Structure 1
């Protein structure tokens, strides 16, 4: 039997390839796999080349833990930086935009006093 090496398909399947002929060895497991063509091989080799040369192939995400551990490495400072950017509280006194139902209700109020009461309640003053 000839020597083989492995390539990775974009869907995560590992395929065996003959070193001498560069022919992909399909493991059929008794299933119908279709016709083998050179175009499929070229596409798989190109995908494998892209995956192997990717600058992100060894990427591992950093999980930020908001807890502080004494004597251990902690990501509390990085978490605080991230929190200050993305988890901001809404501005005090800011009112959300009106929905169509709210606007229709406001316009349905007859007197200025009713409208004023509604605005005070909606703004959270009272």
Structure 2
């Protein structure tokens, strides 16, 4: 199997506040893994597809075809992208906070704009 799709169990009880986790079987670089997650099969498949695309991109740029090298380089690329997005989100949050503070000055304490 080259992706998600097999749901082999659930943990958690509806109505208890515990997350409902499923086990998904995925294959990456020929190795099969069992993932326990709250994600839907579609979400797991999206992650697996992203990983496959990322691995293919890195392996296409590298002359070395060692699986571990490709996996580590892919991990470094993904981590770098994640950290960049995280930093961008933090900047956006700070900007939003500033804008909300400015907006608060024009709205009375009741939270509704007066006419």
TM-score, length-scaled by structure 1: 0.23
Structure with the largest fraction of helix: 2
Which has the larger share of strand?
2
Q: Which has the higher contact order (CA 8 A, sep 6+)?
A: 2
Instruction: Give the TM-score normalised by structure 2.
Output: 0.25
